[in-house]
Structure formats: C-alpha cells, structure tokens
A = this chain, B = another copy of it.
Amino acid sequence: MTVGDLGEFGVVNRIAGRLPQGEGVMLGPGDDAAVVAAPDARVVVSTDLLVERRHFRLDWSSGYDVGRKAAAQNLADVAAMGAVPTSIVVGLGIPAELPVAWLDALTDGFREECAEVGASVVGGDITRSDLVVIGVTALGDLGGRAPVKRSGARPGQVVAVAGRLGHAAAGWALLEAGAVIGSAALEEAVTAHRRPSPPYQEGPRAAGLGASAMLDVSDGLVQDLGHVAAASGVRVELDPEAFTVGEPVVAAAKELGSDPLEWVLTGGEDHALAAVFPPDVRLPPSWQVVGRVVEGEGVLVYGREMGRGGWDHFR
C-alpha cells in the first residue's frame, strides 16, 4: 500500500494514531495548531530541514532511522541551550509512491526518539514532493535556567565534550566506500550514522554545572567550536591527546586507512555536546575536558589553526 492509496487525510490519521501524547500536551495533532505546556513562560525553539539524498539516502537508512535522526538533531539543539525538550512538530514532503510501511516506520522513529526525552510529536503537515523532505521543529523548556548561548566563553575556562565524536562520520565513510561491515565495531559506526545518540540529559546538567557556553556538534567539532570562538571573541585550543577515540572510529579508520582523529575533530552528525566551563568546575565522567579558552580568535589544534574542516551545504 502506498501513500497515494491512502490519500492525504488517510495518511494524517494513520500517523496521528501512532503518536501517544505526553502529559505536557494540552492539544495534540488534528487541529489547526497544537498547544503545549511552557511552564517556564519562555519557550526554546529550533528547526531543521532534511532533504533526501543530501541528509539521508533511502537505500542506506530505514524510515525508522530517518525519523530518529531527524528528531534527534533538533532535540539536541534544544538540549544544547540547557533546556528539556517538550515536543516536536513535523512537516513532511513525500512522493505518492512511498510505501505506507516506510511512513509508519518514520513515524515510529520520531516517536521513539522523542520518548528518550519525554517529548511528544504534537503536530505536523503533509504534502506531496518528489523527494522525501522533512522539516522538524523542536520546543523545549528551560525550567528556570538561563539559556546557555555560544557567546559566553571566557579566557581561562575549559572546553569539554559529552557524547560521541566521529562515529557518524566514520559510518558514512564506510557506507560511501562500500566497505564490508564485518565486525560489531564497524556495525556500530554505521548505526551511528543512521541514528545519532545525543547525550540529551547532559545539556540541562551542564547548565546546572555552570556552563557558560554550549552547542551541539552538528557540522564538526572544530567548525562548531569556531562559532563559540567567534561569538565569544576568544580562541579555543584543543588538545588532541585528550580525546578518547571510540572503538568504532578506530576500527573504521583501520578498515579505510584513514586518520581516526580527523573524524573526531571534523565529523558532524553525532550531536555530541561541547561546552565551556569555569576552570574549577568538577565535571562528572560523562564530560571530558579536551581544551581551553584563551585570548585570541579561531580554533587551534596542536597549536595550529585548523581549516574550517566541516560541512557547508553550498561549498
């Protein structure tokens, strides 16, 4: 059965039927708009647009994978402000020939990724499109905390990361090379490309620990920390020896003859969190100190300025 067989309203009803609504949802899918609790009286909002063949491939990722990934990258943006995600809305462009089973899997992916943080899919829009296009907007609540911006880094502070780095990039490289995925470590890298696993709870936690700047690593650590450096008017110095390189990254680098650290420093899409803390902070083991903030500009690795080394959609 295809989407065209069901028709627009059949599709809408089918999607809504797979989406339980959490307690913060005052009005879910089916009306002109949804209504969600915003107890803090401020709402955090972030949006992303994903386009087939650019952000995902239907032959490399299942509908479920795409749903989880699309939700994850927005939920991570909300967490990176120090907020707890409450809900997402999804705008969906799909071909009439798309199997309904794919759409069901996509919906389940959205639902399950939201469930990781207690958020709900509260609404959406569906239209026809030759390629699959997905617009996701996530909302979150700050719970009385100040938002942690990119501009708060100060010389003397330390830079730390939580979550995986380089895994998704390694997985992408394996798929692109057509490598045989013959071990659990390589499989984990590919899975990381298909479904990032952002450390959501570390966002509000970092805010509570006094993080003065934070973002989620979506384009690559060096490039993203470049935004912190520029917004804060400081230089970030990274110590490459300080990174623990994940086993999947090491295995993929061996398989492809690549430099694992390159993926760690420039690979995007894992949606790790990078934050800047006061020097005397006591960080839990989920946060790893990998550098420091000094006077100046840009991001230095081994004392040298890195090229941008990240993703530009138009370059």
Residues on A facing B (Cβ under 8 Å): 3-4, 6-9, 11, 26-27, 30-51, 54-55, 76-78, 80-81, 83, 87, 89-93, 96, 122-131, 133, 135, 137-140, 142, 147, 149-150, 214-216, 231, 312-315
Residues of B within 8 A of A93 (CB): 49, 51, 133
Specify the chain B residue showing the minimal Cβ separation from A77: B32
Instruction: Decide: B48 and A91 in contact? CB cutoff 8 A.
Output: yes
Contact of A45 among B49, B126, B139, B147 (CB under 8 A): B139
Instruction: Decide: B89 and A30 in contact? CB cutoff 8 A.
Output: no
Distance in Å from the Cβ of A12 to the closest Cβ of chain B? 10
Q: A38-B40, A51-B133 are in contact. List 20 more A-B contacts (CB 8 A).
A: A3-B314, A4-B315, A8-B315, A32-B46, A32-B81, A33-B46, A36-B43, A38-B38, A38-B42, A40-B41, A49-B127, A49-B133, A51-B93, A51-B128, A51-B129, A54-B129, A91-B137, A93-B133, A130-B131, A139-B139
Residues of B within 8 A of A131 (CB): 130
Q: Provide a sorted-by-A list of 18 A–B residue pairs whose CB atoms are within 8 angstroms.
A: A27-B147, A31-B147, A32-B150, A35-B44, A38-B41, A38-B42, A38-B43, A45-B122, A45-B139, A47-B91, A47-B135, A49-B125, A49-B133, A51-B133, A54-B129, A126-B313, A133-B135, A137-B137
- Please, how many angstroms separate the alpha-carbon atoms of A267 and B163 in the complex? 51
Distance in Å from the Cβ of A107 to the closest Cβ of chain B? 15
Residues of B within 8 A of A36 (CB): 42-43, 45
Instruction: Decide: A26 and B51 in contact? CB cutoff 8 A.
Output: no
Specify the chain B residue showing the minimal Cβ separation from A33: B46
Instruction: Decide: B314 and A81 in contact? CB cutoff 8 A.
Output: no
Instruction: Decide: B47 and A90 in contact? CB cutoff 8 A.
Output: yes
- Please, how many angstroms separate the alpha-carbon atoms of A50 and B101 in the complex? 24
